Amino acid sequence: MNAEVTAEPAIDASGLTVRYGEVLALDDVSLRVPAGGVFGLIGMNGSGKSTLFKTLMGLVRPAAGEVRILGGGIRDARRRGDLAYVPQSEDVDWAFPLSVRDVVMMGRYGRLGFTRRPRRADHSAVAEALDRVELTGLADRQIGRLSGGQRKRAFVARGLAQGARVLLLDEPFAGVDKPSEAMIVRLLAERAQSGCTVLVSTHDLQALPGLAPESVLLRRRVLLHAPTAEVLRPENLARAFGLGEGAAA
């Protein structure tokens, strides 16, 4: 693996606590993810996975705790274009009048400069990203008119065009066809080999070993961060998916 050598972890979350009113969504979550590689994030519905992603992105402010991305603050990482996020489908307004090309170009916004006018390099990066996810022929189609798998591929293309060094994907395989899933897995592996850190949540536990060598087991707090084979042991999965007190969404 050709990961960039660095003393700092790519993701360093310490003591994150998040509440939605009276609901405790994350409870003292600490997580250190090294630079370079694909890492899985698993847990039952309501375990706090989406909340963790949004907190790492700075979209949700924690009641306590701190997040550092590549050794610095979230805002700096986002301004540099080093941090990208592929949300769940239900978090996106698919009726908004944006083309597939527009969505992918959003990944370049942090690099456009004061005028916000795309330059030749930006158009080239978008074209290359669209080609890699095989959506060139649909570049001018309104984003909501794509299939589920095509939509996910478009948002992965946005991250590719951005050139992010940390990529967060929240359930990218939900509702997608097998060819789209295989393509996304391949692209994530390629990004990891180039030094990118990928944190991806999934409910497909059978496919997880082929996706991520290491995984994080979450149930409002980190229960285990270990090699995926160890995380998937029945006694460990029972801690996250067994009967017990429910968790927040």
Residue pLDDT, tens place only, 190-240: 999 999 999 999 988 988 999 999 999 999 999 999 999 999 999 999 988
* Average pLDDT of the segment spanning 145-166: 89
Determine contact, residues 37/1, Cβ cutoff 8 Å: yes
The structural domains of the chain, ordered by start, are 1-82+166-177+188-249 (3.40.50.300), 93-163 (no CATH)
More confident residue, 1 or 78: 78
Q: In the chain, helix, strand, coil percent, each to 5?
A: 40, 25, 35
Angle between helices 120-132 and 148-162 (to 10 degrees): 140
More confident residue, 208 or 244: 208
Model confidence pLDDT, tens digit, residues 4-57: 444 589 999 999 999 999 999 999 999 999 999 999 999 998 999 999 999 999
Angle between helices 178-193 and 148-162 (to 10 degrees): 10
Q: In what order do the strands lie in the sheet with 197-201?
A: 83-86, 166-170, 197-201, 37-42, 214-218, 222-227
Closest to 31 (Cα-Cα) out of 82, 5, 69, 2: 69
Long-range pairs, 89-92, Cβ under 8 A, ≥24: 89/148, 89/151, 89/152, 89/171, 89/174, 89/175, 91/50, 91/170, 92/151, 92/155
Q: How do 11-20 and 23-33 pair as beta strands?
A: antiparallel
Q: Which of 39-48, 115-124, 140-149, 150-159 has the lowest mean pLDDT?
A: 115-124
pLDDT band for 119, please (50, 70, 90 cuts). confident
Which pLDDT belongs to residue 245? 44
* Average pLDDT of the segment spanning 117-144: 92
Average model confidence (pLDDT) across the chain? 88
Which pLDDT belongs to residue 91? 65
Region of 157 (left: φ > 0; alpha: ψ -120 to 50; beta: rest) is alpha
Which pLDDT belongs to residue 67? 97
Angle formed at CA 183 by CA 181 and CA 188, multiple of 5 degrees:
95
Q: What tokens appear for 56 in the block?
A: 């790492």
- Can you tell me the distance from the alpha carbon of 215 to that of 83, in angstroms, rounded to the nearest whole number? 20
